[in-house]
Amino acid sequence: MRGRTPRWRWIVAGGGALLAIAALGAALAWSAIFDSVLASQLALSPTSRSYQNWVAPSVPLYFEVYLFNWTNAEKFPLEKPNLVQLGPYRFREHRRHVNITWHPHNGSVSYRNFKSWVFDPTSNGTLQDNITTLNVIAASAVYRSRFWGFFQQKGLSMGLAMFGQHISVSKLARELLFEGYEDSLLELAKSLPPSTTGGAPPIDRFGWFYERNNSLDSDGFMEVTTGQVRGTLPGQIVRWNHDSRLPFYDGECSRLSGSVGEFLPRDLDEDSQLTMFIPELCRTVAMDYMESGEYADLMYHKYGISLTSFDNSSLSSDNACFCNGACAWGGVMNVSACRFGSPSFITLPHFLHGDPQLLDMVTGMQPDPEKHSFYFAVEPRLGIPLDVAARFQLNIYLEPNPNVALYEDVPRMLFPVFWVQQRVLIDHTATQELVMVRSILDWGATACAGAALAFAAIAAIATCFPKTKHKTDLTAEKLKEDELKLNPM
């Protein structure tokens, strides 16, 4: 037996070496391993981890509306409109994906958004507030008549006078928002051919969010990727209302792409852009890096709508095809085409990042990047949004029309009507989970490297230990011999 290494030592040494190599491999490829596990966790399927929260988000959502009260309407157009912001009128929003259909062979899933809103008493104001605003029904009628002949325009002019239409209306907040109000022009529009109303379905009431509560139509029919195909992200728009292009624009602008807001790309850096598909804007918006910071122990990069992402061709030629004609002002999005030809224009609240001329046409706007920007603050490595502020303002385009008495002297301007805000902050539990995931990601490679070292040490000891033992055996025998020599008798 003496001088031979026992078999189990070889097994330990060999096993240790193999494990060391495996751990070393894991340390080197940690990032890729982590990403593939994460991707499989995030991919959408009826059984995946991300599914429950995707179907019905558990974070509380609030929809806040600020209405502009027009305090000097009777002096228009002699005085610039003075607008006083009222609100927020706050609504608790519940949303759910319904009519979910999986398309496994093309890696996508289609659904509709069901949304409902309940008025929240923490609002600054009540739904009974009496608010004066632009008469949008008349403004739309005049806008739609802009290519009509002289006699038709004169006819509209008389019609507006006969129906007692004014440039402004005073309505209660609840009527302006969800409940809607009746109007004689709406009655009239029902009897007109669809071509004169831009194909808009006839409605019996008008309100900005009329018939949106408990409806499936607020965001349209969406088809997004599931992320089950290797190397793709979940939640990226594929088709909208059964169409893989946007029918409202030409060329590059008709391209449908980007995240619908739930899943974002990973490994974002300062040169990355976030592309988001925003149904309210009927388009994809590219958001640029703004700044970095820290929120609840997590680092974030903030991406937002900047001067260029929302602009006309003067600053960013890519956007020219969104203008649909004259690129009117900077920082303005003409959404007329996707609102049945109504004169709707979207900007950031208080014309933030907008053309200075817009601000000059009204009084009462106080743009403030802190309160009015549109951004996503994202944990950059994992692509998880920590703080999202989605905000935009709806404006109505006005221009003079010499044949319509009511609109003879109006200036060419955008009239601000309301702005909305949806703010979502990551909650405490999710933050803690993220911190943990982040530390697994950050320290996993180090842990594997440590394990590799430990296994390597075991292997080394297992191979070297027998030799040492052999040597000690020899030494002991030699000592005995020496002893014998020292004590010959």
Q: In the stretch 196-225, what mask flags binding to ligand NAG with x, by CB under 6 A?
A: -----------------xx-----------
Q: What are phi and psi of 257, to 5 degrees?
A: -160, 170
Q: Which of 13, 65, 97, 108 binds ligand NAG (CB under 6 A)?
A: 108
For the record, the structure tokens of 154 come out as: 């004169």
The number of residues in the chain equals 489
Which member of 397, 407, 415, 455 binds ligand NAG (CB under 6 A)? 397
Q: Does 166 participate in binding ligand NAG (rule CB under 6 A)?
A: no
| Whole-angstrom distance, CA of residue 53 vs CA of residue 360 | 45
What element of type H or E holds 470? helix 428-486
Nearer to ligand NAG (CB atom), residue 5 or residue 72: 72
Residue 270 Cβ vs ligand NAG, minimum distance, rounded to whole Å: 33
Asked if residues 365 and 351 have their Cβ atoms less than 8 Å apart, the reply is: yes
Assess 129 for contact with ligand NAG (CB under 6 A): yes
Contact indicator for 65, 91 with CB cutoff of 8 Å: yes
Q: Give the whole-angstrom CA distance, residue 333 versus residue 344.
A: 9
Supply the Cα-derived Rg of the chain in whole angstroms. Answer: 33
Does 432 help bind ligand NAG (rule: CB under 6 A)?
Answer: no
- Are the CB atoms for 287 and 305 separated by under 8 Å? yes
Per CB under 6 A, 319 contacts ligand NAG: no
Using rule CB under 6 A, residue 69 touches ligand NAG: yes
Alpha-carbon gap, residue 286 to 322, rounded angstroms: 13
Neighbours of 470 (CB within 10 A): 14
Pick between residue 90 and residue 302 the one whose CB is nearest to ligand NAG: 90
Tell me the window of 34-42, 113-121, 194-202, 286-294 that interacts with ligand NAG (CB under 6 A).
113-121
Among 170, 313, 357, 422, binds ligand NAG (CB under 6 A): 170
Q: Does 132 bind ligand NAG (CB under 6 A)?
A: yes
Q: In the structure encoding, which two tokens stand for residue 76, read together?
A: 């228009």
Q: How far is the CB of 105 from ligand NAG (least distance, A)?
A: 6
With beta carbons less than 8 A apart as the criterion, state whether 117 and 213 touch: yes
CA distances to 41, 49, 439 from 37, in Å: 6, 12, 15
DSSP E strands, 432-484: none
Out of 38, 186, 307, 328, which residue is the one contacting ligand NAG (CB under 6 A)? 328
Burial of 235 (C-beta count, 10 Å sphere; 0-12/13-18/19+): buried
Q: Which stretch binds ligand NAG (CB under 6 A): 198-206, 302-310, 324-332, 349-357?
A: 324-332
Residue 19 Cβ, how far from ligand NAG at the closest point, in Å? 45
The yes or no reply on residue 76 touching ligand NAG (CB under 6 A) is no
Confirm if 323 and 250 have CB atoms less than 8 A apart: no
- Contacts with ligand NAG: how many residues (CB under 6 A)? 33
In degrees, rounded to 5, the angle at the alpha carbon of residue 235 between the alpha carbons of residues 229 and 241 is 110
Instruction: Rank residues 382 and 394 by Cβ distance to ligand NAG and give the closer one.
Output: 394
Rank residues 290 and 414 by Cβ distance to ligand NAG and give the closer one: 414
Rounded to a whole number of angstroms, the minimum distance from the CB of residue 358 to ligand NAG is 13
**333-334/375-379 β-pairing:** unpaired
Contact 133, 69 (CB under 8 A): yes
- Among 15-23, 53-61, 102-110, 362-370, the segment contacting ligand NAG (CB under 6 A): 102-110
Name the segment binding ligand NAG (CB under 6 A); options: 194-202, 301-309, 310-318, 325-333.
325-333
Closest-CB residue for ligand NAG?
324
Site string for ligand NAG, 234-253 (x = CB under 6 A): ----xx--------------
Would you say 310 or 397 has its CB closer to ligand NAG? 397
Q: What is the DSSP string of 139-161?
A: HHHHHHTTTS-HHHHHHHHHHHH
β-bridge partners, 110:
101, 223
116 near ligand NAG (CB under 6 A):
yes
Residue number, 337 or 448, with CB nearest to ligand NAG: 337
Binding site for ligand NAG (CB under 6 A): 69, 71, 86, 91, 98-99, 103, 106, 108, 116-119, 124, 129-132, 170, 172, 178, 213-214, 238-239, 324-326, 328, 334, 336-337, 397
